[in-house]
Amino acid sequence: MADVASVVPKNYSYQCNGGKLHSFSSQYHHESRALNLVMRDHAICWFTSAAEPLPANVVIDMGQQISLNR
């Protein structure tokens, strides 16, 4: 049986794997900040500010070049 760590690719966008929030268009106040996007906890999220115009965007620096295929 294969080791799970060898089968599942590492998520470099997580803070614990080197991911950093580079920039974002807006964020809602309270605990819905853009920094939540690099956290491993899927129960927290990012909400944009309703006062800012669309489109919303976020840029995450993964610390290295990554080939995105999904």
Determine the pLDDT at residue 6: 64
Which tens digits make up the pLDDT trace of 4-54? 556 677 888 999 999 999 999 998 877 888 999 999 888 888 899 889 899
User: What pLDDT score was predicted for residue 69?
Assistant: 75
pLDDT in the model for residue 7: 65
pLDDT, residue 21, reads 93
Nearest to 10 by CA among 19, 20, 21: 19
pLDDT at 58: 93
**Which residue, among 17, 57, 69, 10, has the nearest Cα to 38 in the 3D structure?**
17
User: Is residue 61 within 8 Å of residue 19, measured between CB atoms?
Assistant: yes
Position 31 scores a pLDDT of 80
34/37 Cα distance (integer angstroms): 6
